[in-house]
Amino acid sequence: MTRALISVREARPADLPELAECWTQVHGVLGRWSRGLPAPTEQELAEVLRQAQAAPEVRFLVATVDGVPAGMAYLSCRPLSPLHGGRAAHVDYLHVRDGFRRGGVGRALLAAAASYAEEAGADRVAVNVHPGLREANRFFARWGFAPVTVRRAVPTSVLRRMLLGDGPGGRLPPRRGAAARQLLRLRRTAPLADGAEQPG
């Protein structure tokens, strides 16, 4: 049996339909965690691709199997964190399309990330993966990735509503809720540098 040929290259505009499918699948595996995070449209992906092609420190990669796009990864180089001076190659959205898993596509994308890190002088490779995705976390653990931090996100409107009264697990005590509302009122009416007030 002939072994499939896996290669990794930079994404092209012609790859957008497959990249959009990858994003949809990423969204699907996140399930309830993806609520409030709409998947990008093909037009938005085209803009991400355009920006990646214009930024020398960014690589938007596509892995192909016998010429067919089978996976993607978005690479960028920056410090591991604001408190770590060393550079790290960050791998976002490493995803292998349905039907191409367990065939070496993920490994090929990681190999490309390692080459990118060496090229960029980065002494670490960091990957962003949701803690609830067990299979993905096991995959990265097998390749030596250890957990560093968990990034959490909340819609600004939800956080503000909770700060104004609906605290974790229920309402804040009246005095704390009143204090939070007073603080936000003061912040909204604080004088600006030119003496004008912030809009309420």
Q: What is the CATH number of the domain that holds 130?
A: 3.40.630.30
Tell me which residue range forms the domain holding 177. Answer: 156-189
What is the pLDDT at residue 10?
A: 94
Which is it for strands 124-127 and 84-96: parallel, antiparallel or unpaired? parallel
pLDDT at residue 194 is higher than 60: no
In this structure, the answer to whether residues 33 and 125 fall within a common structural domain is yes
Q: Hey, what are 87's tokens?
A: 């550079």
Give the residue-averaged pLDDT of 71-98: 90
The pLDDT score that the predictor gives to residue 117 is 96
Q: What is the DSSP letter of 118?
A: H
Residue 66 has which token pair?
């016998």
Same domain, 123 and 63: yes
- Pair 83, 172 in one domain: no
Quickly state the pLDDT bin for 195 (edges 50, 70, 90).
Answer: very low
Query: Rounded to 5 degrees, what are φ and ψ at 111?
Result: -65, -40
Q: 149 lies in a domain?
A: no
Are 5 and 66 in contact by the 8 Å Cβ rule? The answer is yes
- Residue 176 pLDDT exceeds 70: no
Average pLDDT, stretch 126-142?
88
pLDDT at 189: 59
> Does some domain include residue 147?
no
Q: Highest-confidence range of 64-73, 78-87, 155-164, by mean pLDDT?
A: 64-73
Whether residues 103 and 162 share a domain: the answer is no
Do 133 and 171 share a domain, yes or no? no
47, 55 contact by CB (below 8 A): no
- Please tell me the total count of domains within the chain: 2
Between residues 186 and 93, the one the model is more confident about: 93
Phi, psi (degrees; rounded to nearest 5) at 71: -170, 170
Same domain, 136 and 168: no
Lowest mean pLDDT across 20-24, 27-31, 149-153, 155-159: 27-31
Would 200 be classed as within a structural domain?
A: no
Q: Look up residue 186 and give its two tokens.
A: 């003061």
- Asked whether residue 196 is assigned to any structural domain, the reply reads no
**What proportion of the chain, given as a percentage, has pLDDT over 70?**
74
Whether residue 1 is predicted with pLDDT greater than 70 in this model: the reply is no
Q: 23, 40 in Cβ contact below 8 A? A: yes
45 shares its domain with 21: yes
- DSSP 3-state percent helix, strand, coil across the chain (nearest 5): 40, 25, 35
